[in-house]
Amino acid sequence: MRLIQFENTAGERQVGLVEGSQVQVLKGTGSTRELALAAIRAQRSLQEEVARRGTEPGPDYAQLLQQGKILPPLDHEDPAHCLISGTGLTHLGSASARDKMHQQDGAVEAGMTDTMRIFKWGLEGGKPAAGQVGAQPEWFYKGNGSIVVRPGADFPVPPFAEDAGEEPELTGLYVIGDDGVPYRLGYALGNEFSDHVMERRNYLYLAHSKLRFCSYGPELRVGELPRHLAGTSRIKRNGETIWEKEFLSGEDNMCHSLANLEYHHFKYAQFLRPGDVHVHYFGTATLSFADGVKTQPGDRFQISLDEFGAPLVNGIGESAQPLAIGQVRAL
């Protein structure tokens, strides 16, 4: 089952079920979050709650996409209660990188970079037995719901940015129930847009590099995630594809289990506030930046995976001028 949120002709938010070319609109449903909380409170699955509410014929899906009417598939009416975070060094990457890792032994670990060391810990302990806690992954904060752009929209890029690079990823979408338990609604395509030049300058700049806008959707995939997923990441400039590459995801292509990544996020009590929404990026091994591509305003990113329906498309734009130095005032 694949769900979307969209704006109707009256500018109102609705939730739709994607079936073929036409959207089936859920009756009496104002948001995916409201739908999820109702299911949690009634102890029903999301699919059962959708079936119980029923649907009616809605608009043409392709037209909604073209008109920019598709919203992120899960959000919060108060952006401060939607937390965007992610994890890195979670995918196996190239065979050569894996071979290099396997050639390392404990005696030389002290000479490894922090990046390679965390990657090695993931390979060795990121997929523990059921019920066991595995290696802790890299973790980062991106922002709250105010830094999310809808599918089809441009990423605002601040003037101090050194890079505007895509990261094709899967995202997990969660709502915290009244009982303080995180409930996963499903997964969506994501573009964890980042500043790779800044990150490469010094690993301690990773936190700065992640404080950029991002996008996910357009569809929420409900149900079990395939263990092997192969998609395509593209960059288009003036209508022409300037870079294209396959990206892999799913647990067969990762050195961490999804359960382990979820545990190391939600083990922190401050992330269990009832009613909050969490969007968590699961990492990637495919970047145009690694191939020497330098993006520019006007470029369009396209991330596609057949199992997730329509591709996620976003462009590169510009942001308003940031706060100038010296403008912080004392009271």
For residue 85, which of 151, 135, 166, 145 has the smallest C-alpha distance?
A: 145
Same domain, 220 and 311: yes
Range of the domain at 19: 1-71
Same domain, 159 and 29: no
Confidence (pLDDT) at 292: 93
Residue 256 in any domain: the answer is yes
Summarize pLDDT for 1-31 with one digit per residue, the tens: 999 999 999 999 999 999 989 999 999 999 9
As a whole number of angstroms, the distance between CA 258 and CA 130 comes to 12
Domain boundary among 54, 71, 88: 71
Percentage of the chain exceeding pLDDT 70: 95
Residue 327 in any domain: the answer is no
Sorting pLDDT into bands at 50, 70 and 90, what band is 102? very low
Summarize pLDDT for 154-198 with one digit per residue, the tens: 999 999 999 999 999 999 999 999 999 999 999 999 999 999 999
pLDDT, average across residues 195-202: 91
Same domain, 281 and 197: yes
Q: Cβ neighbours of residue 89 under 8 Å, at least 6 residues apart?
A: 115, 118, 119, 122, 137, 138, 255, 283
Summarize pLDDT for 32-59 with one digit per residue, the tens: 999 999 999 999 999 999 999 999 999 9
Same domain, 145 and 173: yes
Return the amino acid letter for 163.
D
Q: In the predicted model, is pLDDT for residue 148 greater than 80?
A: yes
As a whole number of angstroms, the distance between CA 12 and CA 5 comes to 10
For residue 31, which of 2, 63, 71, 85 has the smallest C-alpha distance?
A: 71
Confidence (pLDDT) at 109: 59
Domain boundary among 56, 71, 86: 71
